[in-house]
Each structure stands twice: as C-alpha cells, then as structure tokens.
C-alpha cells in the first residue's frame, strides 16, 4: 500500500527543483497534491505528468508573499480533495548576494518575505485545516547556510532560512496537542536550476567547490531531498516533531 494513500498535500515552490521532485513523489505515494508557484506553464506541465501517471493534482498560481494565495491553496485542497494532511512549505529564493553594507532594505525585505513570511502565511492557514482533519504534518525547507555553515554575502538568505527552524520549533509545541507535527529539512547543496553553480556563466570551479564541501563529495539530486520530505510527511515519522533534519551529505561535519 502506498505510504500516503488517502492523504492530501500542498507543495509550494513546486515548479522546479526540490518542490517539483517532492510533488511527484508524494503523488506517486498516493497523495492528492495541490501545487503552487509563480510559473503557470511549469505547474501545468507538472500536473499533467502527475495525472499521466495516474495521480491527482491541481495547480494554483501565485506568490507565497501574498496571504490570499495561502488561503486559496488551502481552500482548493479542501474543496477539491476533502481536506489537508501535509504541507511542504518549500518556496524560497537566494535573494541578493553581497556584503551586508551594500544590501538595501528592500532586498532584505524581499528575501525575508518570500522565505520566512511566506512560510508563516502558509502555516497560518494550513494549521486550522489540518486540525479540522484530525492532525497532519507541516514541513519547511531551511538550509545549512546560517545554521551549520556561515557563508559571506548571504545575510538575508541565512537569516530567513534560520528563522524557519525557530518557526518550526514554536509551531511544533503550539500544535502538538492537535496532532499536527512540524519539522524542517536542512538540505545540502542540491543540483537544481536555482543553485548558484548552475547559474548562466558560472565557471566549473563553482560546482567543484560546492561538491567539495560535502563528505560525499557530490551534490544531492532533488529526488534524494524529496525522500526526506516523504519520511516527515508519512507515519514513518509519527514521533518526530520540532526537528531540523539534516539531509546534507555530511556537509555539516566535513572538514576534508
């Protein structure tokens, strides 16, 4: 039997990378999936792929900084599929990279509003739907940057992603009595279009450096990170809440 049969999931930032791989995996494991991101064409292609494989999915286009999107996505999950059991709040961006002295207030706000406030808005509307359903699992995508590793030029990104761990811990305690578990994942470097090593014009040395940071000496595939989300979404992690789960290929402990 599939691990997520009869479950309903939301995946934000689902148009590519970790979000897309996770939406495909959750659907393959039996969940009905509501996917959201800003790129309609990529979302519709994802829905078509899920449905083509026999799954159920629906796309909602929008920006996670907009609270009306958070409310709408939950409403679609309830109206189309009957409720909400799983939420993977994954949408995020690196934002402006550079010295803190050159970072504008607007650039700071843009990064924090997408990565941290967007996740808060999602959780705000997801929690009541999960409680109504009798419980659920809420998952955030944090990062090693600002948690186990400091990297120059990433002040806003590091602060926003570290804030997600604090948010997850607070919500884990707040919602435990309603049988809602809340956790974060901490991926290592992942081979996605958003990775700086894959930016247009990035020299091969960037990828080599990123790979060298990990004990496994390679980047993760999005599908590998998705497996950690499946674990936290499923009953396999029924006694896990308030955790920041490292899925980092040994990056946090490697000094070689």
Long-range contacts of 206-213 (CB under 8 A, 24+ apart): 213/149, 213/188, 213/189, 213/251, 213/254
Q: What is the pLDDT of residues 80-96, one digit of tens each?
A: 999 999 999 999 999 99
Among 253, 244, 188, residue whose Cα is nearest residue 215: 253
Contact 145, 154 (CB under 8 A): yes
pLDDT at 197: 67
Provide the token pair at 88: 């993977």
CATH (domain of 170): 3.40.50.720
Domain that holds residue 215: 8-247
Tens digits of pLDDT across the chain (256 residues): 799 999 999 999 999 999 999 999 999 999 999 999 999 999 999 999 999 999 999 999 999 999 999 999 999 999 999 999 999 999 999 999 999 999 999 999 999 999 999 999 999 999 999 999 999 999 999 999 988 888 889 999 999 999 999 999 999 999 999 999 999 999 999 998 877 667 776 788 888 998 999 999 999 999 999 999 999 999 999 999 999 999 999 999 999 8
Q: Does some domain include residue 12?
A: yes
Nearest to 73 by CA among 119, 136, 131, 110: 119
The single residue of 27, 157, 181, 251 carrying the catalytic annotation is 157
Query: Which pTM value belongs to this model?
Result: 0.95
Judge whether 253 lies within some domain. Answer: no
Is 157 marked active-site?
Answer: yes
131 belongs to a structural domain: yes
Q: Is residue 3 a part of any domain in this protein? A: no
Looking at the structure of the chain, the number of domains it has is 1
- The sign one gets for the Cα dihedral 164, 168, 174, 179 is positive
Burial 38-68 (b: 16+ CB within 10 A, else e): eeeebbeebbeebeeeebbbbbbbbebbeee
pLDDT at 182: 98
Q: What is the pLDDT of residue 196?
A: 66
**How many residues in the chain?**
256
Q: Rounded to whole angstroms, what are the CA distances from 69 to 63, 179, 255?
A: 7, 25, 42
- Provide the token pair at 178: 């309603």
pLDDT digits (tens, 9 = 90+) for 45-59: 999 999 999 999 999
Q: Do residues 46 and 15 make contact, with C-beta atoms less than 8 angstroms apart?
A: yes
Predicted pLDDT at 205: 87
256 is a domain residue = no
pLDDT at 148: 87
């Amino acid at each position: 039997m599939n691990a997520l049969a009869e479950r309903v999931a939301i995946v934000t930032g689902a148009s590519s990378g970790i979000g897309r791989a996770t939406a495909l995996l959750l659907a393959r494991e039996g969940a009905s999936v509501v996917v959201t991101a800003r790129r309609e064409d990529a979302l519709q292609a994802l829905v078509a792929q899920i449905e083509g494989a026999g799954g159920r999915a629906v796309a909602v286009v929008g920006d996670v900084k907009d609270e009306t999107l958070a409310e709408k996505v939950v409403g679609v999950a309830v109206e189309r599929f009957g409720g909400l059991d799983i939420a993977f709040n994954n949408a995020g961006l690196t934002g402006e990279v550079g010295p803190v002295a050159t970072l504008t207030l607007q650039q700071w706000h843009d990064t924090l509003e997408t990565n941290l406030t967007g996740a808060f808005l999602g959780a705000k509307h997801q929690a009541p739907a999960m409680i109504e359903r009798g419980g659920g699992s809420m998952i955030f995508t944090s990062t090693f940057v600002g948690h186990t590793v400091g990297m120059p030029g990433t002040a806003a990104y590091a602060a926003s992603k570290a804030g997600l761990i604090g948010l997850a811990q607070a919500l884990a305690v707040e919602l435990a009595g309603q049988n809602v578990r809340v956790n974060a994942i901490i991926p290592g470097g992942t081979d996605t279009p958003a990775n700086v090593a894959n930016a247009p014009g990035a020299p091969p040395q960037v990828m080599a450096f990123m790979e060298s940071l990990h004990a496994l000496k390679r980047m993760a595939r999005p599908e590998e990170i998705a497996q950690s989300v499946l674990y936290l979404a499923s009953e396999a992690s029924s006694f896990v809440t308030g955790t920041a789960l490292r899925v980092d290929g040994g990056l946090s402990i490697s000094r070689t």
